[in-house]
Amino acid sequence: MRIDALDLYWIKMSMVGEFVTSFGAVQERDIILVRARAGDASGWGESGVDGVPLYSYEDAATCWHIIEDFIAPAILDRDWPDEGIGAAMAQHFSAWRWHPMARAAVEEALWDLEANLRNTSLRRLYAGGRESRERIPVGISLGIQDDFGLLGAQISEALEQGYQRIKLKIEPGKDVGVIEKVRGQFGDIPLMVDGNCGYSREQGGILRDLDPFGLLMIEQPLAHDDIPGHAELQARLETPICLDESIHSLRHARLALDYDACRLINIKASRIGGRSEAIAIHDLCAERGVPVWCGGMLESGIGRLHNIAMASLPNFQMPGDLSASRRYWHEDIIDPEVTVAGDGKVDVPDAVGLGHRVREEAIQRLVLRSASYSRG
C-alpha cells in the first residue's frame, strides 16, 4: 500500500492550570500532530515534544524538521504492507539515530490509518490478537506546589474523582517534608513520586529518607544517562525505582533490568520512538516479571487515546498517567473527550480507529503552522 499524503499541524494548547516539575513550569503545550492519508482513509498521531529541551532534547521545531526533511519523504517514497504498517515503519527507521518523538508521531498516525482501513480499533491492533482490557485504572500526576494547602486540595479532589494513584513531582528541598505531610493528612493512599532527574548521586540519602513512607515507587530520581547510578541507588533502597527518562529503546530496557537499576518501567511511546518499540519493552518486562505502566506527556486527546489503547495490554499492571481531558484542557481536540469514571477507570474504545472523532475545526483554530506533503 502507498501513503498518499502526510499532513503536519503545529498547534498550541493552553493548560487549565500550570504544571510544575523539577524542569520548571508549563502553562502551554506546543504539540505536533500528524495525519497520514491513503485514499479516503486517514489516521492521526501526536508527538510528545515540549517547548523546551529539558525532558527531552527534542522540541517542536526539531520534530517538524525531522519529519519534513527525512521521515515524510521516506514514508511517501515506498510501498508498505497492508497489515503491520506501524511495525514495518519501526523496522525501516530502526537504524536512524534518535529523534524518537518525531518517529513516534508518524508511526502512531500509521497505526491509526491501518486500524481505519481494516475497520478495527486501535486497542485490537495494539493487542495484536492478545487479550486486552476494556477498562483500565488511571492515576494522576500533580506538579510541585509550594502551598501545601493547595496541594492538599488537589489531592482531595483527585481522590474524590476516583483516581487510583497519586503521583507527586518532587525536587531537592520539596520532597521528604511534603510526603510526611501528605501521609499525615491522607494516610495510606496509593502514592508515588517523580524526581524528573533532579537529584545527584550524592543526594541519594534524601531518597533513602523516603523509604519509611511506603511509596509505590520513586520515578527517575537521577540523571537520564545514569543507569549505573540508579542500580547503585536501588541496591540501597526498599522503595522500587521506576525509570522514565533513561529508557529510549528495548536495549536500554534490557540494560536497566540486567543491572537491576529499576523494578518498574514507565512506558511512553513518544520517548521510545513509537508504539512497536514500546510494545516490545512491554513484552520484555512481562517475560522478566517486571510490571510496566503508561506514562504521559500532557497529551491532547489524540495522543491520550493512543496511550489508552496501548495501556489495555496485560502487563500495564499499574494505573497510568492517563487522566481525564478536563484535567489538562478547557477544550480537548477530540469528541467526546476522555472521562474518568467514579471507580478511577477509563473505557478503552473498541470502535474503529481512535474511537473518538478528531475535531478538525478546533485544530484549525489552534494551529500555528501547517504543511502537507504528498507523493510526487
Q: Give the interface with ligand OSB as residue ranges (CB under 6 A).
A: 55, 141, 194, 196, 244, 295-298, 321, 323
**Number of Cβ within a 10 Å radius of residue 66:** 21
Q: Name the minimum Å distance from CB 266 to Mg ion.
A: 6
Nearest residue (CB) to Mg ion, 23 versus 213: 23
Please spell the DSSP secondary structure of 246-302, one letter per residue: T--SHHHHHHHHHTT--SEEEE-HHHHTSHHHHHHHHHHHHHHT--EEE---S--HH
Nearer to Mg ion among residue 268 and residue 359 (C-beta): 268
Residue 10 binds which of ligand OSB, Mg ion, none (CB < 5-8 A, kind-dependent): none
Question: Closer CB to ligand OSB, residue 82 or residue 225?
Answer: 225
Q: Which is nearer to Mg ion, 108 or 244 (CB)?
A: 244
CB of 171 to Mg ion, least distance (A): 13
Contact partner at residue 297 from Mg ion, ligand OSB, none, CB < 5 to 8 Å by partner kind:
ligand OSB
- Which entry of Mg ion, ligand OSB, none binds 298, CB below 5 to 8 A by partner kind? ligand OSB
- The C-alpha angle with vertex 307 and arms to 36 and 239, in degrees rounded to 5, equals 150
Q: Which does 309 bind (CB under 5 to 8 A by kind): ligand OSB, Mg ion, none?
A: none
For Mg ion, give the closer residue by CB, 11 or 297. Answer: 297
The site partner of 296 among Mg ion, ligand OSB, none (C-beta below 5 to 8 Å per kind) is ligand OSB
Q: Could you list the beta-strand ranges (E) of 39-102.
A: 41-46
Size of the site for Mg ion (CB under 5 A): 3
Give the closest residue to 175 by CA, choosing from 333, 278, 22, 357: 22
Specify the residue for cell string 530520581. 221
181 classed as catalytic? no
**144, 194 Cβ separation under 8 angstroms:** no
Minimum distance from residue 245 beta carbon to Mg ion (Å):
7
Q: Would you say 221 or 274 has its CB closer to Mg ion?
A: 221
Classify residue 330 by its DSSP letter. Answer: S
Backbone torsions φ then ψ of 18, nearest 5 degrees: -70, 145
12 in catalytic set: no
SS3 73: helix
> What's the 3-state SS for 92-119?
HCCCCCCCHHHHHHHHHHHHHHHHHHCC
Out of 46, 108, 112, 244, point to the residue binding Mg ion (CB under 5 A).
244
Q: Is 321 in the site for Mg ion (CB under 5 A)?
A: no
Positive or negative torsion for Cα 353, 355, 361, 363:
negative
Give strand ranges (E) for the chain: 5-21, 24-38, 41-46, 135-137, 140-142, 166-169, 191-194, 218-219, 241-243, 264-267, 292-294, 334-335, 345-347, 357-358, 367-374
Pick one of Mg ion, ligand OSB, none as the site partner of residue 141 (Cβ within 5 to 8 A by kind): ligand OSB
CB of 368 to Mg ion, least distance (A): 27
Of the pair 295, 353, the CB lying nearest ligand OSB is at 295
- Shortest separation between residue 321's beta carbon and ligand OSB, angstroms: 4
Name the minimum Å distance from CB 108 to ligand OSB.
16
All 3 cell numbers of residue 267? 512506558
Q: List residues bridging with 28 in a β-sheet.
A: 14
Query: Residue 104 touches which of ligand OSB, Mg ion, none (CB < 5 to 8 A by kind)?
Result: none
**Segment contacting Mg ion by CB under 5 A, of 6-14, 211-219, 234-242, 309-317:** 211-219
Q: How many residues are recorded in the chain?
A: 376
By CB under 5 A, name the one of 30, 107, 114, 194 that touches Mg ion: 194
> In whole angstroms, what is the distance from residue 39 CA to residue 113 CA?
11
Catalytic residue among 12, 174, 181, 268: 268
Minimum CB separation of residue 141 from ligand OSB in Å reads 4
Of 12, 167, 169, 174, which one is the catalytic site residue?
Answer: 169
Interface residues toward Mg ion, by CB under 5 A: 194, 219, 244
Please identify every residue annotated as catalytic. Answer: 169, 268
